[in-house]
């Protein structure tokens, strides 16, 4: 295991050090005093573990293929942007566009997330990307979603607080969204999506994901699963097909 002190380093300097260690065959790197340095793990194809202490900047793990990144703190915009494979675990909150165009791997966020989480998320060949959010989400959750699985748990939200903002699944044409509990009647759902009760096979898959989530954050999976979920899927996989000639 190698340790890096990010204090005073530019994002370029920090990422050059990380890549040099990975290129030398290092399998675990602990990065301390991270304070907004962006692109950590971006574009890396490797089977290794990065442990981040602090707040990484935008595009943590973007385009990455195989890394396991664990953040002890919050994360900024674009976590897992277009990631292909690997796992990102955030013990705090994450902001906007988490999982933007994600096409493989898993993201687990213990706290809340911002707007447009899972936007343009897609399945790619045999890959089925997954995002599990422990807290609440902002507007446009699952916007233009084309594949993969989003799970929103609403843990620790205050009484009367909404689990998700408006315009859920706007433009959705693939994938699935699972939300723990019920949605308030005044929450706006995209006209492209419909709400269903999960089937038994859905709960089997949810059980595996929730157990993995709970293991990372030392939570009780059975307690989380004791509350029913709802499921959102698209009405049509080509909702805009009639707009085009071909």
d(CA 154, CA 181) in angstroms, rounded, equals 8
Question: Which tens digits make up the pLDDT trace of 182-231?
Answer: 888 889 999 999 999 999 999 999 999 999 999 999 999 999 999 999 99
| 119 DSSP β-pair partners | none
pTM passes above 0.85: yes
42-54 average pLDDT score: 96
What dotted CATH number matches 93-234? 2.160.20.60
Q: Distance between CA 101 and CA 61 in Å, rounded?
A: 13
Q: What is the mean pLDDT of residues 157-171?
A: 93
Instruction: Give dist(CA 219, CA 3) in Å, integer.
Output: 28
What does DSSP say about strands 193-196 and 85-90: parallel, antiparallel, or unpaired? unpaired
Evaluate the CA torsion angle 20, 26, 27, 32 in order and state its sign: negative
Phi first, then psi: give them for residue 223, nearest 5 degrees.
Answer: -65, -40
The pLDDT tens digits of the residues spanning 66-124 come to 999 999 999 999 999 999 999 999 999 999 999 999 999 999 999 999 999 999 999 98
Instruction: Sketch the domain layout of the chain as residue ranges.
Output: 93-234
C-beta of residue 164 within 8 angstroms of C-beta of residue 143 = no
């Amino acid at each position: 295991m190698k340790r890096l002190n990010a204090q005073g380093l530019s994002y370029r300097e920090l990422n050059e050090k990380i890549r040099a260690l990975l290129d030398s065959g290092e399998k675990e790197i602990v990065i301390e005093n991270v304070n907004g340095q962006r692109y950590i793990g971006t574009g890396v194809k490797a089977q290794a573990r990065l442990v981040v202490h602090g707040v990484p900047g935008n595009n943590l793990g973007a385009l990455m293929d195989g890394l396991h990144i664990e953040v002890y703190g919050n994360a900024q915009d674009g976590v897992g942007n277009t990631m292909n494979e690997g796992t990102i675990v955030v013990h705090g909150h994450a902001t906007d566009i988490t999982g933007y165009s994600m096409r493989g791997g898993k993201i687990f966020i213990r706290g809340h997330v911002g707007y447009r989480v899972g936007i343009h998320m897609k399945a790619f060949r045999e890959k089925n990307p997954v995002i599990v959010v422990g807290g609440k989400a902002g507007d446009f959750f699952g916007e233009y979603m084309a594949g993969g699985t989003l799970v929103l748990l609403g843990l620790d939200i205050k009484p009367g607080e909404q689990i998700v903002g408006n315009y859920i699944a706007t433009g959705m044409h693939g994938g699935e969204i699972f939300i723990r509990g019920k949605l308030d009647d005044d929450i706006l759902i995209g006209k492209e999506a419909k709400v269903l009760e999960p089937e038994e096979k859905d709960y089997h898959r949810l059980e595996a994901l929730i157990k993995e989530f709970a293991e990372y954050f030392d939570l009780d999976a059975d307690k989380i699963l004791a509350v029913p979920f709802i499921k959102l899927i698209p009405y049509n996989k080509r909702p805009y097909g009639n707009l085009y000639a071909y």
